[in-house]
């Protein structure tokens, strides 16, 4: 379906209809009801790229189960949990904003996008078991993770996730569980936020419309927009532009020619999943189970066995398997995306990063070309009785990892999502990796602070933001914030229908 509503000379143009632009659009309109906002999406339907349900794992990343967020033993010999605390805190902003979206009628039915699914970490072998125990001890001491449970008992693990134990012999195993985990359909969420935005006075969205260029003229951005249906290109203007175009962000940033984008490069990593929808198997597993990263794998390739709930149907998903690609977008990307993104200002960083990451490139190539038997071997480390006949391989989304000049020695695959804002605050761009979607409200709050900070200083603006994200100006990680965190978390879960 091709939707097309046009607002001429809006205050804000959002490029892309994934979770990032969708969140910024809804948040800004709720913050400043008089704002005029136009969103352009190049595919015919909303949120069909990285945010689309089957293109990501739908884990509401809260730092609970992902072992890659607690990677090192610190100087005292204990696991360092600072990253997990940070992600949990950021996810609280999303929970609060999504709860607000449901309470205020922006979204009618929370279960259309979020469902409760316990989060487990699962390890095998004595070394991994010792690591998980140390991690558990550290995490349990923080109020964020006080509900965490730990066990080495097979019967308990069987009770938590029967598929993990069936057919497994002798090796020591251990697991942690937190009941308050979630599965999120970020595509469904983004779609509903954009549709709400489109119904607001002075706002519109147009699918099948690709932004092909942007130029700064005095204090205004002039955008060239191509309409796929008519084949025409037209211009629109706005004082503020947000590039939430996923893999399409880097090329647009390069076109805009802003100095902040100089030297930036992108490195795409594709993915694949194994999916099972056989009811008798699906019914046996209600959990998101994360293991440890295998050897040279990038942190994003940590294997996990997930319950997914998409459009009301439950399925199991395992992966991701990384895949070599030179496309920046799954649907509308081209193999020339990577070579065409190479510029004199990023060539050196790209070469340097390439030389430092030969094992990664080899890994991506090996992953993408491996046989179904080898893929099943990975799955069987989690679910020993898994049978090839019950699983099929599908493509996941593409992540374009940002490469910055100073990344040369550090390696390219790192956590987080990069927000880049021009000095005059007229343009913000998002270059990103995981845990982007889960912490989208926190990331967008950062954009609002940087580019619309004056609104937050007014009484009305502050109150509106407090209604959306009550703890936006409070540090919930501090011990004295524990009672406030408990209350806000309970309220958000209640709004989201999660007991
Ligand atoms: C394999 C995989 C697994 C993941 N798992 C998780 C997970 O479990 N939990 C989690 O929180 N995150 C996960 N992520 C990350 C998450 O998917 C992303 O952080 C998030 O979806 C990014 O949203 P976005 O809005 O920035 O981009 P997108 O959803 O990609 O949206 C960008 C949109 O911009 C449009 N666009 C591009 N160029 C143009 C243009 N020139 N004009 C108009 N429109 C344009 C695209 O068509 C697209 O619709 C995963 C990602 C991958 C790839």
* Integer Cα distance of 103 and 445 in angstroms: 19
Range(s) of the domain holding residue 100: 12-495
Cα-atom radius of gyration of the chain, to the nearest Å? 22
- Grade residue 107 by pLDDT with cuts at 50, 70 and 90: very high
42 CB near ligand 1 (under 6 Å): yes
Looking at residue 354, which CATH number applies to its domain?
A: 3.50.50.60
3-state class percentages of the chain: helix first, strand second, coil last, to nearest 5: 40, 25, 35
pTM attached to this predicted model: 0.95
C-alpha 16/C-alpha 396 separation (Å) is 18
Average pLDDT over residues 102-128: 96
Q: Is residue 297 part of a domain?
A: yes
For residues 207 and 5, give the distance between their C-alpha atoms in angstroms, rounded to a whole number. Answer: 9
Query: 437: Cβ below 6 Å to ligand 1?
Result: yes
For residue 3, being part of any structural domain is answered with no
* Average pLDDT across the chain, whole number: 91
**Is 246 exposed, middle or buried (CB count within 10 Å of its CB: 0-12, 13-18, 19+)?**
buried
pLDDT of res. 68: 87
- With a pLDDT cut of 90, the percent of the chain lying above it is 74
In tens, the pLDDT along 460-485 reads: 999 999 999 999 999 999 999 999 99
As a whole number, mean pLDDT of residues 388-395 equals 96
Domain-located, residue 97 = yes
* Ligand 1 atom closest to 434 (CA): 15
Phi, psi of 392 (to 5 degrees): -125, 155
Q: What is the pLDDT of residue 359?
A: 74
Query: What angle do the packed helices 82-103 and 186-199 form, to 10 degrees?
Result: 40
Which tokens sit at 303? Answer: 């294997």
Task: Answer whether 291 contacts ligand 1 (Cβ < 6 A).
Answer: no
**pLDDT by residue (tens digit) across 141-192?**
999 999 999 999 999 999 999 999 887 777 899 999 999 999 999 999 999 9
- Which residue has better confidence, 339 or 416? 339
Q: What is the number of domains present in the chain?
A: 1
Has residue 193 been placed in a domain? yes
Cβ of residue 379 lying under 6 Å from some atom of ligand 1: no
Q: Is 18 in the pocket of ligand 1 (CB under 6 A)?
A: yes
Which protein residue has the closest C-alpha to ligand 1 atom 25? 18
357 CB less than 6 Å from ligand 1?
A: no
Instruction: Please report whether residue 255 resides in a domain.
Output: yes
237: in domain: yes
Atom of ligand 1 nearest to the CA of 16: 34
3-class SS of residue 195 = helix
Task: State if residue 187 touches ligand 1 by the CB under 6 angstroms criterion.
Answer: no
Using one digit for the tens of pLDDT, what is the confidence trace for 65-103?
999 888 777 667 788 999 999 999 999 999 999 999 999
Do residues 417 and 280 touch, judged by C-beta distance below 8 A? no
Of all protein residues, whose CA lies closest to atom 2 belonging to ligand 1?
A: 56
> Is the residue at 6 inside a domain?
no
Q: Whose CA is nearest to atom 16 of ligand 1?
A: 437
Rounded distance from Cα 494 to ligand 1 centre (Å): 28
Residue 340 domain-assigned?
A: yes
Closest atom of ligand 1 to 51 CA is: 21
């Amino acid at each position: 379906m091709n939707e097309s509503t046009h607002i001429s000379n809006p205050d804000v143009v959002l490029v892309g209809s994934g979770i990032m632009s969708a969140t910024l659009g809804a948040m800004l309109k709720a913050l400043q009801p008089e704002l005029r906002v136009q969103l352009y999406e190049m595919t015919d339907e909303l949120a069909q790229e990285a945010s689309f349900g089957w293109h990501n794992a739908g884990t509401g990343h809260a730092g609970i189960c992902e072992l890659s967020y607690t990677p090192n033993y610190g100087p005292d010999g204990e696991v360092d949990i600072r990253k997990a605390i940070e992600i949990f805190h950021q996810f609280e902003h999303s929970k609060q904003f999504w709860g607000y979206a449901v309470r205020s009628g922006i979204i009618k039915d929370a279960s259309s996008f979020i469902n409760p699914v316990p989060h487990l970490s699962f390890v095998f072998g004595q070394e991994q078991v010792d690591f998980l125990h140390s991690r558990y001890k550290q995490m349990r001491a923080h109020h964020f993770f006080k509900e965490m449970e730990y066990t080495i008992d097979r019967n308990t693990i069987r009770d938590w996730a029967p598929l993990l134990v069936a057919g497994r012999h002798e090796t020591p195993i251990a697991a942690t569980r937190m009941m308050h985990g979630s599965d999120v359909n970020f595509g469904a969420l983004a779609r509903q936020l954009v549709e709400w935005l489109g119904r607001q006075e002075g706002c519109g969205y147009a699918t099948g419309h690709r932004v092909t260029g942007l130029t700064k003229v005095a204090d205004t951005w002039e955008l060239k927009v191509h309409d796929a249906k008519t084949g025409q290109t037209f211009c629109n203007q706005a004082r503020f532009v947000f590039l939430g175009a996923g893999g399409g962000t880097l090329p647009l940033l390069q076109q805009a020619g802003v100095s902040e984008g100089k030297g930036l490069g992108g490195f795409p990593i594709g993915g694949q999943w194994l999916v099972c929808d056989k009811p008798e198997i699906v019914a046996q597993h209600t959990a998101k189970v994360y293991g440890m990263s295998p050897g040279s794998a990038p942190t994003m390739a940590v294997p996990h066995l997930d319950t997914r709930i998409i459009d009301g149907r439950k399925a199991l998903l395992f992966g991701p398997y990384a895949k070599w690609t030179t496309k920046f977008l799954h649907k509308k990307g081209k193999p020339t995306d990577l070579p065409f993104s190479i510029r004199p200002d990023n060539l050196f960083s790209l070469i340097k990063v390439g030389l430092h990451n030969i094992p990664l490139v080899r890994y991506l190539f090996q992953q993408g070309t491996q046989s179904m038997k080898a893929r099943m071997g990975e799955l069987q480390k989690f679910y020993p009785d898994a049978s090839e006949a019950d699983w099929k391989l599908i493509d996941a989304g593409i992540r374009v990892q940002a490469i910055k000049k100073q990344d040369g020695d550090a390696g390219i695959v790192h956590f987080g999502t990069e927000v880049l804002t021009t000095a005059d605050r007229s343009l913000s761009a998002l270059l990103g990796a995981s845990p982007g979607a889960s912490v989208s409200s926190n990331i967008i709050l950062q954009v609002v602070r940087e580019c619309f900070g004056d609104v937050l200083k007014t009484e009305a603006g502050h109150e509106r933001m407090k209604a959306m994200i009550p703890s936006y100006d409070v540090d919930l990680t501090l011990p004295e914030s524990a009672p406030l965190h408990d209350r806000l978390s309970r309220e958000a879960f209640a709004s989201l229908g999660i007991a």
